[in-house]
Amino acid sequence: MTSRAEKLDEFRGHPGFEFIKQDVSNEVAVDGVVTHVLHLASPASPLDFPDYPIQIVKVGTVGTYHMLGLALAKNARFLLASTSEVYGDPLVHPQPESYWGNVNPIGPRGCYDESKRGAEAFAMAYHRARGVDTRIVRIFNTYGPGMRADDGRVVPNFIGQALRGEPLTVYGDGSQTRSLCYIDDLVEGLLAVLEGGDDLPINLGNPVETTMLELAALVVRLTGSRSQVEFQPLPTDDPKKRCPDISRARELLGWEPKVTLEAGLARTVDYFRAALAR
């Protein structure tokens, strides 16, 4: 719903690739042997929340139920892409997997936050009651080439605005932090969890915090832009701090991010510069 078919073009024709278009919020059927089920479906940008709240709730709950049913039927290992948003606006910092969170279930972000919390409950229920081999990954802010220019999250927002010479929109006073993980590191982490994790949640993200003002300055420098910062009111329930405790990932998997923020942003700027020129 929020992706583009052409993103699959490089895989079409590969002997190990087959694309089946289905909606996981409806029952999913796949013929033949299935060894692994990775449930990564869901709009994830705050811009999507007011437009698709029902679809987001359904894909996190009913969609997870259907994908777990597929894993159960095929005796496959199941991986759930959960989110750092299960911690809400955290009162514990950094956030370990043992933290239960501070979430507003009826706020504008509740459709996403609570659907992912429900998805985790579904995964644990199928693990405990049906013996499904499950993995839960709590993904923190991730960025990189391939993101939508109108995604609405901070990295594509800042880069697009800087490349167009527009003011960079900073919400609040810009002191809020995010911990930004480059996509290559995140994919390596997902595969490590799939092969070597356990049934309990694992944080994947970059433990290095960056304020929004620091990020804006870095994007302006990397793009060579003359854009200034424009301040806007802080959105409702927007987390003030976001930083993963990745001790479990380090100890259990030997995983931690390798790509620095500057290196990852430089690659992402190159992607958006080419995309906007088309």
199: domain CATH number is 3.40.50.720
In a domain, 148, yes or no: yes
Q: Among residues 261, 243, 248, which one has the least CA distance to residue 196?
A: 248
Among 52, 65, 87, 112, which one carries the catalytic annotation? 112
- The residue range of the domain holding 125 is 33-277
Of 276, 274, 268, 257, the C-alpha closest to 166 is 276
Per-residue pLDDT, 239: 81
CA distances from 31 to 73, 75, 128 (A): 11, 13, 26
- Tokens at 254, concatenated: 């030997």
Query: Residue 19 falls within a domain, yes or no?
Result: no
Answer yes or no: are the C-beta atoms of 59 and 115 closer than 8 Å: yes
DSSP run (H or E) holding 143: strand 142-143
> What pLDDT score was predicted for residue 237?
73
Report the pLDDT value the prediction gives residue 122, as an integer from 0 to 100: 98
Residue 24 lies in a domain: no
Query: d(Cα 36, Cα 75) in Å, to the nearest integer?
Result: 9
The tally of domains found in the chain comes to 1
Establish if 14 belongs to a structural domain. no
Q: What is the pLDDT of residues 1-18, one digit of tens each?
A: 888 888 899 899 999 999
- The question of whether 112 is a catalytic residue gets the answer yes
Q: Which two tokens stand for residue 144?
A: 């990189």
For the segment 53-109, what is each residue's pLDDT rounded down to a tens digit? 999 999 999 999 999 999 999 999 999 999 999 999 999 999 999 999 999 999 999
SS3 116: helix
In a domain, 166, yes or no: yes
What is the identity of the amino acid at 114? E
For residue 20, being part of any structural domain is answered with no
According to the model, what pLDDT value does residue 55 have? 96
The angle, 0 to 180 degrees and rounded to 10, between the axes of the packed helices 261-277 and 212-223 is 60
Interatomic CA distance for residues 31 and 150, integer angstroms: 36
8 domain-assigned:
no
**pLDDT at site 241:** 86
User: Which residues of the chain, if any, have pLDDT below 50?
Assistant: none
Residue 199 in 3-state DSSP? coil
Whether residue 26 lies inside any domain: the answer is no
